[in-house]
Structure 1
Amino acid sequence: MNKEKIAIMVDSCTDVPKEYREKYNMYVIPLMIIYKDKEYYDGIDITPEDVYARFAKEIPSTSLPSPEITYNTFKKIQADGYKKVIVISISSGLSNTYSMVSSTAKELEELEICVIDTKNIGIGAGFSAIMAGELIEKGLDFKTVCQKVQENVEHTRIYFCVSTLEYLKKGGRIGLVTSILGTALDLKPIISCNEEGVYYTVAKVRGRVKSLKKAQELAVNMAKNYEKYNITIMHGNAKEEADKIAEELKTLLPGVNVCVEGQITPALIVHTGPGLIGIGVQRVNW
Structure 2
Amino acid sequence: MIKSNIAWVTDTTATLSPEFIKQHNIYVVPLFVIFGEIAYKENIEISSTAFYQKLASAKELPKTSQPSPGEMLELFKEIKEKYDHVIAIHVTGALTGAYNGAISAAAETGVDAFVLDSLIGSFPLGKMVERAVALEQQGKAFEEIVAEIKSLPAKGRLFLTPGSLEQLHKGGRVTGTQTVLATLLNMKVILKFHEGRAILCDKVRSHKRAIAKMVDYLEVEKNYVKEVTVIHADNLKEATQWKTILQSQFPHISFSITELSPVPGTHAGRGTIGLAWLGE
TM-score, length-scaled by structure 2: 0.89
Task: Provide, for residues 125-174 of structure 1, a one-character-per-residue CA deviation record: whole Å limited to 9, x for no partner.
Answer: 22211211221111211122122211121111111111221111112223
Task: Provide, for residues 184-241 of structure 1, a one-character-per-residue CA deviation record: whole Å limited to 9, x for no partner.
Answer: 532111111112x1111222111222212221221232233x1x53322221101111
> How far apart, in 2, do the equivalents of 1:23 and 1:230 lie?
22
Counterparts in 2 of 1:210 and 1:177: CA distance versus 1, 3 Å: farther
Counterparts in 2 of 1:265 and 1:229: CA distance versus 1, 3 Å: same
Aligned to 2:59: 57
Aligned to 2:243: 246
Aligned to 2:92: 91
Task: Provide, for residues 103-146 of structure 1, a one-character-per-residue CA deviation record: whole Å limited to 9, x for no partner.
Answer: 1111222x311100111122232221121122111121112212
Across the two proteins, how many residue pairs are aligned to each other? 276
1:1-286, aligned counterparts within 5 Å? 5-55=5-55, 56-79=58-81, 81-109=82-110, 111-174=111-174, 178-195=178-195, 197-224=196-223, 226=224, 228-256=225-253, 259-284=255-280
Percent identity, aligned pairs only, is: 27
How far does residue 35 in structure 1 lie from its aligned partner after superposition? 2.4
**Moved >4 Å (runs of 4+):** none
Aligned CA RMSD, in angstroms, stands at 2.3
Counterparts in 2 of 1:215 and 1:18: CA distance versus 1, 3 Å: farther
> How far apart, in 2, do the equivalents of 1:37 and 1:9 lie?
28
Counterparts in 2 of 1:251 and 1:84: CA distance versus 1, 3 Å: farther
Counterpart residue type for residue 221 of structure 2: M
Counterpart residue type for residue 215 of structure 2: Q
Q: Which has the higher helix share?
A: 2
> How far apart, in 1, do the equivalents of 2:251 and 2:24 lie?
25
Counterparts in 2 of 1:171 and 1:160: CA distance versus 1, 3 Å: same
| Equivalent pair of 1:175/1:200 in contact (CA under 8 Å) | no
Counterparts in 2 of 1:223 and 1:149: CA distance versus 1, 3 Å: farther
How far does residue 175 in structure 1 lie from its aligned partner after superposition? 7.0
Gaps of 5+ in 2: none
The SS at the match of 2:67 is coil
Comparing 164-173 with 52-61, which one deviates more in the overlay?
Answer: 52-61
How far does residue 264 in structure 1 lie from its aligned partner after superposition? 1.8
TM-score, length-scaled by structure 1: 0.87
Counterpart residue type for residue 69 of structure 1: E
